[in-house]
Every structure is written in C-alpha cells, then in structure tokens.
Structure 1
Amino acid sequence: MCYFISNNVTEKEIKESFGVEYNGPTYKGSNFVNGFAHPNTPIILDDNRNEAILGNWGIIPPWAKNRDGQKMTLNARIETIGEKSSFKASIEKRCLVIVNGFYEWKWLDTKGKEKEKYFIQLNNDKKPFALGGIYNVWTDKVSGEQLTTFTIVTTQANELMSEIHNTKHRMPMVLSKKFEKAWLDDRNIDDFAFPHYNPSLIAEIV
C-alpha cells in the first residue's frame, strides 16, 4: 500500500517537471508525510491540466455525509476500483499526485518486529514525479464548503517492490513521464496494472 510519501517539492520544481503553475495557498512540502493525517498535497486534475492545486489525501465520495471514512480511502486497489462504492464514481476523475518519493518497510522477521525503512523513487535523476490518483470534489452538507479529495491507486508489486513490501506485495501506481498524459486521458485502467505496466524504480534504506 502507500501511506507515507515525500512531497518536498517547490513551486519552481512543479513548473519545471510538469509544465504547470501552482495555484493555491502558500505551500510547504515535507520529506515525510503521513497519509493518516489527511494532509494537503499538490495534484493536477484531468479537467484542468494547466495548474497544480492542493488536494486532501483520503477521497470522500459524493454520498458521504461527513469525513469519518477518510482514513479508509487513502489507497484504491486497481483490481477492485470499479467495484468499491467509495471509488467507482471517481474512476474517470483522474489526477497526478506530485511527490519526490514514497516510503515502505521491509519485514525482517515473521511478526514485523524488525523492519528496514526504504525510500523509493522513479528512476528519473531524482526529479519530482507523479503517482496515479483519482479524486472527488466533495461538498460538506453542513457548511457548504467544497473540498478536493484524492486517493492513490495501488497495484500488484513489481520485482523490486515485492522484495521490499514483502508482506502484502503492493505498490502505488508510479507514472513515468510518458504515462502521465495517458492516465489523465482515461486510458483503460487495466493498462496501468502490473505487469502490463512496470515503472523503473530505485530504492535506498533510510
């Protein structure tokens, strides 16, 4: 799965890597972001590809009365994304989640008491890159506030990630540059599942 990322990217880096301007409140990224805190992080939406905005991690579906279920929607499994009520309304609402890496822990014993922490990146000279996400603009039924929320799509782990995430064998959908547009263009979602699509990743113990 993917619950911890690094989104320590500047507005300048967003523009250089994705060709878009950042349009949002003053943003300061972090080298370690915990998804369960429902942080705001830069995303690019399919219906406005010329700017990056802040999205709130943990998708809230249109029918939700409140934010109570957000902790359960940080990730969406690509194999069942069209079946789950929290995600199926957003399957064609695609976004790029801008990061400069993510974290996973390798279990060194059967109970997970000893672990190694890894920082994983796209093999692209350590530039910012995108994770595939879906989103929904949720309206608070009480306040009327609109909140752009997203989830990160996950797939079966490739060889490298199977060795690291050696309990559940999952990984986020890491998009190489040429696949970013394809994701936003609503290309068949199965095309992005491993082994149909296999990004080149690098990892280091931290």
Structure 2
Amino acid sequence: MLSYFKGYINNILFNNNRSILILEVNNIGYEIQVPLHFARKLEINLEKQIQIFTHFQIRDDQQFLYGFSSSAQRDLFRQLIAISGIGCQSAIALIDTLGLEDLVQAIVTGNIRQLSKTPGIGQKTAERIALELKTKLSQWRISAGVTVENTNAFPNEEIMADLEMTLMALGYTNKEIQQAISVISQDNLLQKNTHVEEWIRSAIAFLSFNNP
C-alpha cells in the first residue's frame, strides 16, 4: 500500500528535529517525513519532480508517511522497526547517521560501537539490532544490491575501539577515521595482525599521505 509517489517538491520543513517533505501529487500535498540528509538534497531542488519510496503507518488515530530515496532504504527501515523497541524515529536516525551501506555493514559485522554512534541508540539496543538482523541482512543485501566491504576484514571490537580512540586523540575526524579503517582493513597481512599498534601505524600512514 502506497509503495511510492511521483510528484513535485513543494517545500521542505524542519520541525522538532524532523524533516518534512511536502510532495505535490495530482494537486494534493502530502506530508512525508524523510531523513535529514535526504531532505538537504531535496531542498536545493524545489519544484523538481521526484520518485520517493514510502512507508505508511497508522498509530492510534494518527497517520504517518515516511519517505526514502530508494526501495532498499525503505525496506531496511521496515526491518528495523520490526525489532521490539525500535521506533520509526530511531530507525530514521540510524539510516541518517550511518547511511544505507555503512548501516548494513555495521549490522552484518556486529559493529556495536558504530551502531551506538546514532543518537538515542545505546549499547544494548545496538546489540539487539545486530543480533536480530545480522543473518537476515547478510542474505537481504545481496538481493537488494547493497554493496558492503569484506565483512571478515575489519579488526575485532577491542582493536577497533583502541584504534578509533587513538586517532580521535590525534585530532582526526570520524569521517577520516572510518575512511582509513575501511582502506587499511583490505590489507591481507594486517587482517591477521592482532597488535593494535600495527593498525594504528597503518592508519596514521594512510591519513598522513592522504591528508598532508
């Protein structure tokens, strides 16, 4: 029901940390909550025609529409809200904070630290998400065409924690840190190394070369 809409962007509203798209379809304006990053892209394309994939929810006596840039993003949202304790706002926050590919990867690899970076998502909630969706998403991502990095390549949680904290202490941004980890994790020799010092040395070397 209401799988998608094709219409014109009438306006983008930002209220109470929520991004609302007003989409005009056949002279009717629909209010659709969308992820903030998606809203920012739509904001510069007012009056442009778009296709948006939707999820329709009825709660008590209220009706809500949630919109996403792709069917894969919408389907992941539906899998998240099927988990006990994960509401629509938490699911949108996860997608908004990590993005489709990084969110799927964090769940499939059980990266609790990455999931916990989302506002409102604590460690126990992150663990529940990974536990309930890890197997499902491992299969779903293939049929949905979602590409993720080698899930066996990333360092274990202990190394990851020390690596991230060290790099943050050195002044690198989270984006730079995640990029470095993604690249150096493809090193076959490093994958077998359990010494965090080697991971730190490789990450700094990469960041120094790419951010002189």
Instruction: State TM-score, norm by structure 1.
Output: 0.27
Larger radius of gyration: 2
Higher helix fraction: Structure 1 or Structure 2?
Answer: 2
Higher strand fraction: Structure 1 or Structure 2?
Answer: 1
